[in-house]
Amino acid sequence: MNYTQAVQYLFDSAPLFQNIGAAAYKEGLDGTLALDAYFGHPHRNYRTIHVGGTNGKGSVSHTLAAILQSQGYRVGLYTSPHLVDFRERIRVNGKMISKKRVIEFVRTISNSSPKGEKQNSTTVNKSPFPRGGAFSFFELATALAFQYFAEQKVDFAVIEVGLGGRLDCTNIIKPVLSVITNISFDHVQFLGDTLPKIATEKAGIIKPGIPVCIGENINPEVKAVFANKAKEVGAPITFAEDNPLPMPIPQGEVALQGLCQEKNQQTILTSVRLLRGQGIEISDEAIKQGVREVIAMTGLMGRWQILSKKPLIICDTGHNVGGMQYIVRQLEATPHKQLHIIIGMVSDKDINTVLSMLPKDAVYYFTQASVQRAMPVKELFQIAMKHQLCGCYYENVEDAYYAAKQNANTDDLIFIGGSTFVVADMLKSIF
Burial class (CB in 10 A: 0-12, 13-18, 19+), 8: middle
* Tens-place pLDDT, residues 197-246: 889 989 999 999 999 999 987 788 989 999 999 999 999 999 998 887 76
**pLDDT value, residue 104:** 95
Write down the domain spans for the chain: 3-298, 305-430
Over residues 79-108, mean pLDDT: 95
Band (387; pLDDT cuts 50, 70, 90): very high
**pLDDT value, residue 382:** 96
Q: How many percent of the chain have pLDDT more than 70?
A: 88
CB 59 within 8 A of CB 256: yes
**pLDDT value, residue 372:** 85
Band (195; pLDDT cuts 50, 70, 90): confident
Spell out the long-range contacts of 105-112 with Cβ–Cβ below 8 A and sequence spacing 24 or more: 105/6, 105/140, 105/144, 105/147, 106/1, 106/6, 106/7, 106/9, 106/10, 107/1, 107/6, 109/135, 109/140, 109/143, 110/9, 110/13, 112/1
User: Range with the lowest mean pLDDT among 6-10, 251-255, 282-286, 370-374?
Assistant: 251-255
**pLDDT value, residue 155:** 98
Output the average pLDDT for the chain.
87
**pLDDT above 70 for 135:** yes
For the chain, how many residues are written? 431
Residue of 53, 7, 87, 58 whose CA lies nearest to 301: 58
CB 173 within 8 A of CB 159: yes
Biggest alpha carbon–alpha carbon distance for the chain: 62
Q: List C-alpha distances in Å: 42 to 35, 173, 343.
A: 10, 10, 41
**pLDDT above 50 for 105:** yes
**pLDDT value, residue 13:** 63
**pLDDT above 90 for 247:** no
**pLDDT value, residue 16:** 55
Q: List C-alpha distances in Å: 303 to 79, 211, 314, 355.
A: 14, 28, 9, 20
Over residues 142-147, mean pLDDT: 96
User: Range with the lowest mean pLDDT among 1-5, 168-172, 285-289, 321-325?
Assistant: 321-325
**pLDDT value, residue 350:** 81
Band (130; pLDDT cuts 50, 70, 90): very low
**pLDDT above 60 for 38:** yes
**pLDDT above 90 for 24:** no
**pLDDT above 80 for 269:** yes
**pLDDT above 60 for 7:** yes
Band (116; pLDDT cuts 50, 70, 90): very low
Quick one: CATH architecture of 3-298?
A: 3-Layer(aba) Sandwich (3.40)
Band (124; pLDDT cuts 50, 70, 90): very low
* Tens-place pLDDT, residues 180-194: 998 876 544 446 568
Band (332; pLDDT cuts 50, 70, 90): very high
SS (H, E, C) the chain: CCHHHHHHHHHHHCCCHHHHHHHHCCCCCHHHHHHHHHCCCHHHHCEEEEEECCCCHHHHHHHHHHHHHHCCCCEEEECCCCCCCHHHHEEECCEECCHHHHHHHHHHHHCCCCCCCCCCCCCCCCCCCCCCCCCCHHHHHHHHHHHHHHHCCCCEEEEECCCCCCCCHHHHCCCCEEEECCCCCCCHHHHCCCHHHHHHHHHHHCCCCCCEEECCCCCHHHHHHHHHHHHHHCCCEEEHHHCCCCCCCCHHHCCCCCCHHHHHHHHHHHHHHHHHCCCCCCCHHHHHHHHHHHHHHHCCCCCCEEEEECCEEEECCCCCHHHHHHHHHHHHHCCCCCEEEEECCECCCCHHHHHHHCCCCCEEEECCCCCCCECCHHHHHHHHHHCCCCEEECCCHHHHHHHHHHHCCCCCEEEEECCHHHHHHHHHHHC
* Amino acid identity, position 320: N
Band (26; pLDDT cuts 50, 70, 90): low
**pLDDT above 50 for 179:** yes
Over residues 276-298, mean pLDDT: 96
The CATH fold assigned to 305-430 is Protein-Tyrosine Phosphatase; Chain A (3.90.190)
CA pair distance 35, 28, nearest whole angstrom: 13
**pLDDT above 70 for 79:** yes
Over residues 390-398, mean pLDDT: 96
Higher model confidence: residue 172 or residue 319? 172
Band (27; pLDDT cuts 50, 70, 90): low
The HSE-up count of residue 127 (CA atoms within 13 Å, CB side) is 22
Q: Cβ contacts of residue 365 below 8 Å, gap of 6+?
A: 340, 341, 342, 343, 391, 392, 393, 394, 400, 401, 403, 404
Beta strand pairing call for 312-315 and 305-309: antiparallel
Higher model confidence: residue 119 or residue 95? 95
Band (126; pLDDT cuts 50, 70, 90): very low
* Amino acid identity, position 58: G
* Tens-place pLDDT, residues 39-62: 999 999 999 999 999 888 999 999
